[in-house]
Structure 1
Amino acid sequence: MRASLPAVRALALLLGFYLITVGALAAIVGLDIGLTAASNHQGGPALVETWGVSLVLAYPLVRGLLVGLSGSRTRRSGVRVRPGDQPRLWQRVERTAQAMGVRPPAEIWLVDHPQAAVSQDSRLLGLVPGRRRMVLGLPLLHGLTASELDAVVAHELGHFAHGDTRLSALTTRNRAGLQQVLSRYSSEDGGPGQWLNGVFAGYARFCLRSSQATARRQELAADAAAARFAGPDALIGALRATVTMPRAHHGYLIGFRDIGRELGLAPQADQVYPGFQAFLQTDSWRQERDRLTDDPPRERQSPYDSHPPMAERIERLRQLPARDASAADPTPAHTLLDRPTETCAMVVASRPGAADQREVDWDTLAAAAGRAELDRETAGLRDAARAILRRRPDQLPALLDAVDEGRWKEIADWMPREGMSRTVSSDAGRSMTESAAADALYSWALTTLVDQDRGRWLLNWDQGHHLDLDPGLDATLGPALDTALDPGARDTTPLRRLLRLDQQVSP
C-alpha cells in the first residue's frame, strides 16, 4: 500500500494538470462563443481581434496538453558506450547491480557535464518497466576514486531497487507540460496571460510540495543502500565531489575551454580532458577544493528541492558503521575507461554546437583569446580617437601626436561612461573615464608589442591565459606611459621609443 501511494499521487497530479488545462481551454472557447452571440452575429474588427487574442492564449495550453500526453522528447546528448566499448566500466556497474539485487541498466551514456543519474522508460503509466539508462558525467569521473564511483553507481541503482524510477514518466510528463505553459505566459504582461501564469505556477508549486517528502525519503534510502555496498566514507567523498567538481568544471570552462567560444574556436577535442586533469592538479584548485571541503558554502536550497540538504545526508552517513579503510580503491575513476583520450574526445565532440567551432591547439586558442581581450579593452579609446581626430588614421602614433598637442582629456572625455562612472558626479565620472582611457592606452601598447613579437600569449593551468613580455618591458612600460600622460610632462618620447614608434611619422 505504501509503495502504491506515490503512484497514485503522481497519476493524480498529472490528471490534475489535464483538468486545469482543458478547463482553461473550455473557458476561453465559452467566452468567445458568448461574445459572438452577444454581437448578434455582426462580426467586425472587434470580434476578429477577440478571436485572435483567444487563439494566442489557447496555443500554449494546447502545446502543454500535447507535451503532457506524449512526454518531453529531447535529443539525448553524450555518447552511449556498450560493454564492448568500455568493458571495465560495465563490469563495475554490473557487479554493483548484482550486489544491489537489481537489473543493470541497459544503456550507459557518458556526458560532458558533472552529472550522475538514472532513468527508466515505462509503459501503461509506469506499471510495466522498460529500458533502464545510466548517465555518467566525465567531469565527475575525473574527481572520483573508483570506490567513490561505486558509491555513486550504487546510489543511482538504489533508486531502481526501490522502484523510484518507474513513475518518472508520469512526473516527467507533468513537469514538461507545466514548463511548456509557463514558458509562454508572462507573469508581468498583465491580462489573461498573467492570470493563467499564476494558476499554473501555483499548481506547479503544489505538485512540488506534494511530492517533496517522498522524493527526499527516496534519496535517503538510496544513500543507505549505497553506504551498505561501498561504505559510508566512499559515499561521503562522492557527495563532496558533487559540490566541488561542478565548481572545478565551471572554472575550467570559463578560464580555459570556452575562452575562444565567441570567436568560434575551441581546443582540440582530444586535449580537453587532459587539460581538465592538469587543471585539477594545480595548487590553486587544490587549495580551493580543500577550502570547499573544510568550509562548505552555505547551501541555498529551494523549499521544493527533492534532495535533502547535503549536511544532513553526510551527518546521517557518519552515524553508520565505518568500513575498513584498506578495502577502499583509490584508483582515479576516469582511469577505468578504455582508450580514455579517444573516449573523452568523442564525448566532447558530441556537445551541441561543437561541430560549429574550429578546433585549434591551446597556444593558438590563448593567442586568439588574448588578442580579442586586448581589442575589447581598446575599442572605446579607438572609437574616441576616430571621432576626435576625424580624418586622421586610427593608429597609435596619431593618438600620441594628439597627446603631445594637449588633446588627451578631450579624447578621454569622449569615451562612453561605464559602470560607476555613470552614477557619480560629472567631475568624478570624468576622472574615472580618464583612468579607463589610460588603461585602454596601456592595452593598446601591449597590442603593439604583441604585433612586434615582443610579447606572446601563453596558457598556464594555474594562471589561465596571460601575456608574457620580453625581459625588461614590463618594468619600463608603466613609467613610460605615466610620463606620456602626466599633465606636467606630456612627453610621449619614452613611450614611442619603447614601442619603436620614434621612427614612425603619422600621416
Structure 2
Amino acid sequence: GFYLLAVAVVLLLLYIPYGMAVYANRVDVRILLGCFAGAVAVLSAIWPRRDVFVPPGPALAEASQPTLFRNIRQVAALTDQAMPTEVYLVGDVNAFVAQRGGLLGLGSKRVMGLGLPLLQALSVAELDAVLAHEFAHYAGGDTRFGRWIYRLRHAVIRAAANTRESRILSAPFIGYARLFLRITNGISRQQEFAADALAATLVGSRPLQTGLKKINGAAPAFQAYWQAEVMPLLQLGYRPDLADGFARFMAGEQNNTAMTQAVNARLQQQVADPYDTHPALPERLAAVAHLAPGDQLNEQPAVTLLQELPRLEAAWFQFIFGAAQMSQLTPFSWDEIGVRVLVPRWAGAIQPYGHLLQGLTIADLPRLRQQRNSFATIYRQRTNLGIAEKDWPALIHRFLGTVLAYILVQHGWQAHKNMGETPHLTSGNQVIQPFEFVAAVAQGQMSAQSWQESVSELGIGSLSLTGPIEATHVAELPVVATSPAPPEAGNQPDTAAPPASANIISLAMMFGLLYIGVVILTLGLSNAGTVMALAGLG
C-alpha cells in the first residue's frame, strides 16, 4: 500500500508540469523544479537499500564460551530452531535476535545479541526463558516478517521526513505513517505474546515472569550505574570491572529500592500504548500466569556461564572506545575506589582552602562555618560563581565532610564506597560516615560543644587538620561513547547503507534532464515568448 501511494504521488508530481505544458502551453520553472524535487525526495525514500549489518558488539566464539553456547543450543533444540550464525556481546539489559545482511532478504544471516548486564541481572533459568522467547521469534517467522516491516517503517519515516518542507506533500505520508505504525506495532505486540507463551511452555512461566520483572528494574538501573559510576571513572582514565560493579550497584539498598519502584511503576501501566511495540508488563505477566511454573530451575547467576570475564569486558570496552583510547584506560577494581579515586579527589577539593585549616583540629570543624566569607571568596575565584544563600548549606556540608574524610584517611582510616551510597571510613571495628556525621554541624543543628563531645568519644577530636594535602593528578580522557542500546527483534537500528551520494546525484541529474527535455519538447518551443514563459518571466 505504501509503495503504491508513493508511486502515485511521484506520478502526480511529474504529471503536473507536463499537464501544464500540454493544456496551458506554459510551465513556471518554479513549479517544474518544485515538483521534480518532490518526486526525487519521495523516490529517494523508497529506493532499495542494501542491508549492511554493523556488529553491535564483539562476537562470542563457542570455542572460548562452551558453557554459554551449550545453554543456547539446548534452548534452540527445545524450540526446534537452528543456531544463530553469530552471537554478540552487547552493553545493555537486553537480548535480541534478527536476520540481517543481504539484499531484499537474500543472503541474510541469523544473529543474536546478549547483554552483559542482562547476564549479570538474571539467573540461568531466567536467561533460558529469555532465550526461548527470542528463538520463538525465529520459530514464528517474526524476524523475516519484522525485517520487511523494519525496512518499510523506515521508508515511511524517510518519506515523511523528506517531504516535511511541504505540508501538502507530507500530509499523505504522515497520515499513512500513523496508520502503518498502529497496525504493525499491534502485530508486534501479538508476536511478543506468542513468543512469551512458547517460552513459558518450554521453560516455565515463573522464570519468564521473574525475568521480565528483573529486566524492567535492571534496565534503568544500568543506565544510572553507567552515568553515575562508570562514566566518571572512564573520564579519570580507569576501566572498571563492568559486571562486578553492576552487581554491587544492584545490591545497594538504595538502588535496590529504586529498581523495585521502577518495576512497580511499570506494573501500574495496565495497557500498552497503540504505538508501543511490546505489551505492557502486567499484560505479559497475566498472559502466561495459567501455564506451569517450571521445575528444577537453575538459580545460579547467568553471568557464571561466561568464561574469562575480564577478557570479555576488555574486548567490549575496546569495541566501544577503540584500541587507541582503550590503551589509555587502566584496569580498575571497585575495591580500589577509596585509594585510587576518593582520596585524591578529596585532597584536590580541600587543597585550595588549606590556609583556613591552620591551627585547627577535628574538634574545631564547626568553626569553619564562621569562615563563610573566606570560603566564598576562594570558591568564587576557582569557579567564577558566587554562592547563593540556598546553596551554602550543601557546599559547607560537602566541604566539612571532605575535610573530615581526608584527615581520617591520613591517620590510618580506610576509605570505602558502596554503589549508590556515600563513602564510609573504617578503623578496626569503628565505622564513620563522614558526610552524614557532619550534616548536623553543616546545617547548624549541632552545637560546637556537642560536636566536640562526639568526636572525643571516637578518639579523633585532637587530630590536626593541617596534615599534608597532596592531590594526585589524574589526566582526564574524553569519553567518546556510552553503552549502546541493542536492538529488539524486528526493530533493528537503521544500519542499511544508502546508495552512494554520487550515484544518487547522477541518477537524479539524468532523470531530471530527461524529464525537463520531455516537458520542453512538449511545449514545442518556437518563439522567444514561450522561452520567457518557461522561465516564468512572460
TM-score (norm 2): 0.62
Whole-Å separation in 2 of the counterparts to 1:139 and 1:105: 21
Query: 1:3 maps to which residue?
Result: none
The reply on whether 1:88 has 2:57 as its aligned counterpart is no
> Which consecutive residues of structure 1, in runs of 5 or more, have no partner in the other structure?
1-11, 376-396, 417-431, 484-497, 501-507
The reply on whether 1:108 has 2:87 as its aligned counterpart is yes
Match runs of 1:266-277 below 5 Å: 267-268=238-239, 271-277=241-247
Whole-Å separation in 2 of the counterparts to 1:368 and 1:55: 64
Q: CA deviation at 1:116?
A: 1.1
- Relative distance call for 1:35 and 1:478 in structure 2 (3 A) is farther
1:435 counterpart letter in structure 2: K
Query: 1:435 maps to which residue?
Result: 390
Q: CA deviation at 1:469?
A: 5.7
1:65 counterpart letter in structure 2: I
Query: 1:308 maps to which residue?
Result: 279
- 3-state SS, counterpart of residue 110 of structure 2: strand
Q: In structure 2, which of residues 198, 215, 221 is the aligned counterpart of residue 242 of structure 1?
A: 215
Match runs of 1:111-260 below 5 Å: 111-121=90-100, 125-126=104-105, 130-183=108-161, 192=166, 194-259=167-232
**Cα contact 1:100–1:161 (8 A) shared by 2:** yes
The reply on whether 1:328 has 2:286 as its aligned counterpart is no
Whole-Å separation in 1 of the counterparts to 2:15 and 2:191: 44
Q: CA deviation at 1:445?
A: 7.7
**Cα contact 1:71–1:176 (8 A) shared by 2:** no
**Cα contact 1:71–1:173 (8 A) shared by 2:** no
- Relative distance call for 1:339 and 1:26 in structure 2 (3 A) is same
**Cα contact 2:200–2:288 (8 A) shared by 1:** yes
Q: In structure 1, which of residues 390, 400, 404 is the aligned counterpart of residue 374 of structure 2?
A: 400
Identity across matched positions, percent: 24
Query: 2:488 maps to which residue?
Result: none
Query: 2:418 maps to which residue?
Result: 460
Offset from partner CA, 1:204-243 (integer Å, 9 cap, x none): 2222233344333322222222122211112112221221
- 3-state SS, counterpart of residue 275 of structure 2: coil
- 3-state SS, counterpart of residue 83 of structure 1: coil
- 3-state SS, counterpart of residue 268 of structure 1: strand
- Relative distance call for 1:469 and 1:184 in structure 2 (3 A) is farther
Q: In structure 2, which of residues 243, 251, 257 is the aligned counterpart of residue 281 of structure 1?
A: 251
Query: 1:7 maps to which residue?
Result: none
- 3-state SS, counterpart of residue 329 of structure 2: strand
Q: In structure 2, which of residues 314, 317, 322 is the aligned counterpart of residue 345 of structure 1?
A: 314
Q: CA deviation at 1:289?
A: 4.1
- Relative distance call for 1:438 and 1:293 in structure 2 (3 A) is closer
**Cα contact 1:129–1:166 (8 A) shared by 2:** no
1:340 counterpart letter in structure 2: L
Query: 2:356 maps to which residue?
Result: none
Query: 1:429 maps to which residue?
Result: none
Whole-Å separation in 1 of the counterparts to 2:261 and 2:444: 39
**Cα contact 2:186–2:275 (8 A) shared by 1:** no
Offset from partner CA, 1:256-293 (integer Å, 9 cap, x none): 112356xx446415x12221122122233334445555
Between Structure 1 and Structure 2, how many residues are aligned? 413
- Relative distance call for 1:178 and 1:471 in structure 2 (3 A) is closer
Query: 1:21 maps to which residue?
Result: 6
Q: CA deviation at 1:184?
A: 5.3
Q: CA deviation at 1:168?
A: 2.7
1:268 counterpart letter in structure 2: R
Query: 1:65 maps to which residue?
Result: 46
- 3-state SS, counterpart of residue 154 of structure 2: helix
1:20 counterpart letter in structure 2: L
RMSD: 4.8
- 3-state SS, counterpart of residue 460 of structure 1: coil
**Cα contact 1:212–1:304 (8 A) shared by 2:** yes
Q: CA deviation at 1:312?
A: 2.0
**Cα contact 1:415–1:433 (8 A) shared by 2:** no
> Which consecutive residues of structure 2, in runs of 5 or more, have no partner in the other structure?
352-370, 426-432, 449-463, 467-538
2:390 counterpart letter in structure 1: S
Whole-Å separation in 1 of the counterparts to 2:77 and 2:310: 30
Query: 1:319 maps to which residue?
Result: 290
TM-score (norm 1): 0.65
Whole-Å separation in 2 of the counterparts to 1:21 and 1:42: 24
- Relative distance call for 1:437 and 1:479 in structure 2 (3 A) is closer
Query: 1:380 maps to which residue?
Result: none
Which gives a bigger RCO, structure 1 or 2 (Cα 8 Å, sep 6+)?
A: 2
Offset from partner CA, 1:437-462 (integer Å, 9 cap, x none): 67557767888999999899964314
**Cα contact 1:121–1:132 (8 A) shared by 2:** yes
Whole-Å separation in 2 of the counterparts to 1:313 and 1:101: 23
**Cα contact 1:156–1:222 (8 A) shared by 2:** yes
- 3-state SS, counterpart of residue 147 of structure 2: helix
- 3-state SS, counterpart of residue 136 of structure 1: strand
- Relative distance call for 1:319 and 1:355 in structure 2 (3 A) is farther
Whole-Å separation in 2 of the counterparts to 1:367 and 1:122: 50
